[in-house]
Each structure stands twice: as structure tokens, then as C-alpha cells.
Amino acid sequence: MIIDTHVHLNPQDRGGDRLVEEAVRLGIDKLVVFNDSVCERPSYDDVLRAAEKHPDRIIPFAYLELGTHTVNDVMRLHEDGFRGFKCIYPKVAYNDKCLWPIYEAAEQLGKVMLFHLGVVAVSDYNRLQDVDSARMRPIFLDAVCRRFRNLVVWGAHLGNPWYEEAAMLCRWHLNLYFDITGSSLKAKPPEFFGQLLWWAGNKQYGDRRGRGPWEKILFGTDVSIDKMGDVMNDYRKLFEGLKLPESDRKAVMGGTAAKILGLEKA
């Protein structure tokens, strides 16, 4: 099973038809899809309608505005049918204790939380918002993962440009996973990621559950529909460059996400 864990619903494809058509062409079985924010982009309802229209393909996530949304919003979005939450543009750093009730509620509900990490792109929209990339450093997930050990946390972009923080946290926290979306696979050679995730096959320094780093990395595209295939090729080049075994490739491309989301095939 191939699972794309990082998909923005396209404003020109609010029903998800083109997205699903491309997924079928590329052999992608499932897509984690979300709206970006509360601005004039695809809405929460658009995401739910796309998931209802394509229930075998689309897994709906909801944008959660940290620092504004409350526990009541978490409960409402849960009742609406969202499987997890996407977080970006927080009003405070991700480790601010004012967010603890949000994380506790998500943990109790069994939700996945996907956090944007690293530098945020500059746009006309976020120029007018309270946006600060410094609040989205990977290290701020350390306190979150320590306190809420049953909360599944996905970090986007392997923390770009704070890769070292992300890689070290990945090694220590059992409930923390990362995708390598964004420009990193274009900018960095496979050897860069091999060095970051140096503990592959090293039982002494590895995951306390015995998992290697490539069981903690998730496939995601985070691009427009016409560029999804190109990102898949970037992942394949990464695998080939590092000569990863087939078991690791399958874990990245969907095996790990399937376990987290309860989608493993019988």
C-alpha cells in the first residue's frame, strides 16, 4: 500500500476528482488530505465532501489553528469525521503549555497531528498574518512527545533547515515520525539523509522498539497535482542512492503510515 501523507486540497479541485485520478495513475492507494487554513481556500467542508466522494482514497485531516482553536474545536472536528489535524502558523511555539489541553484532547481521541516544521514560504496571504517560522522548530516537538506519549506526531519537511534537530528527535521519540517533503530531496543528495539517519541498523543507538530510522520516515508529496509523480521519483532516487532494502522502502512509502492509521491489509 502506498500512502501519501501530505496533500493539500487543490482550490481548483475541491471535490478531489483530479487528485484521485492522478493517485490512481501513480499507484497511490491512500491520500491524507487537508485544508490549509481558515482563509479563502478549500474549507473543512470541502475536505469532508471530497472524502465522502472518494472514501476509498481520501483520509480527511483538518487544519487546527494553534493558539486560537480550543478543545471544543478539537471535539467538533472529531465529531465531523476528521482523522487527524494539520498545524501551521501557530500563534505560540509548539511547546507552549497553553497548547497542552489541545494535545491532551487529540491524544485521548486517538488523532494524528501533523506539524509544519521549519521555514514557511512567503506569500501575500501570510504576509498579513502573525507568522513566525521560529515557532515551528523541530525541537519544540520534544516536550510535546515526552508529555503526550500516546499522541502520534508527524513532523513535516524533516525540519528544514533544522534537520539535525529533527533527526535526533526521530531517534529518541517512539511516537514521532517525519516526512521529507518540500525542496529537501531536490537540494540534498541521498548521502546527506544517510548521514542524518546514521543509526540505521545500529541496535545500540537505534529506536528503543528496535525500529530503524526508515520506519520513522513517511512518504508525502506536498505539491500540486501535476508534480506528484516527480516527488515519487525523488523518493525512488533517495532509495537507490542509499541502496535501502525493500522492507525499508515499503515502510516509507506506506507501511508505517498504514500501521498508524489502522489500514494494514489483512
Contact 173, 150 (CB under 8 A): no
Say how many C-beta atoms besides its own lie within 10 A of residue 85's C-beta. 25
Could you tell me the residue ranges of all domains in the chain? 3-261
Q: What are phi and psi of 2, to 5 degrees?
A: -105, 130
- Residues 101, 71: Cα–Cα separation, whole Å: 7
Note the pLDDT of residue 38.
52
Q: Answer yes or no: is pLDDT of 266 > 50.
A: no
CATH of range 3-261; options 3.90.550.10, 3.40.50.300, 3.40.50.1370, 3.20.20.140: 3.20.20.140
pLDDT band at 130 (very low <50, low <70, confident <90, very high): confident
Cβ atoms 34, 63 nearer than 8 A:
yes
Give the rounded percent of residues in the chain with a pLDDT score beyond 90.
Answer: 84
In three-state secondary structure terms, 237 is helix
Q: What is the pTM of this model?
A: 0.94
Write down the pLDDT at residue 208: 75
pLDDT computed for residue 34 by the predictor: 95
Cα(2)–Cα(4) distance, rounded to whole angstroms?
7
pLDDT one-digit tens code per residue, 56-88: 999 999 999 999 999 999 999 999 999 999 999
Q: Which pLDDT value is given to residue 131?
A: 85
Would you say 117 and 155 are in contact if contact means Cβ atoms under 8 Å apart?
yes
pLDDT for res 202: 78
The three three-digit cell numbers of residue 72, written as one number: 471544543
pLDDT at 249 over 80: yes
pLDDT in tens, 189-239: 999 999 999 998 777 777 778 889 999 999 999 999 999 999 999 999 999
Segment 36-61 mean pLDDT = 87
**Up-side HSE of residue 50: CA atoms within 13 Å toward CB?**
34
H or E stretch covering 120: none
C-alpha cell at 266: 489483512
Rounded to the nearest integer, the mean pLDDT of the chain is 93
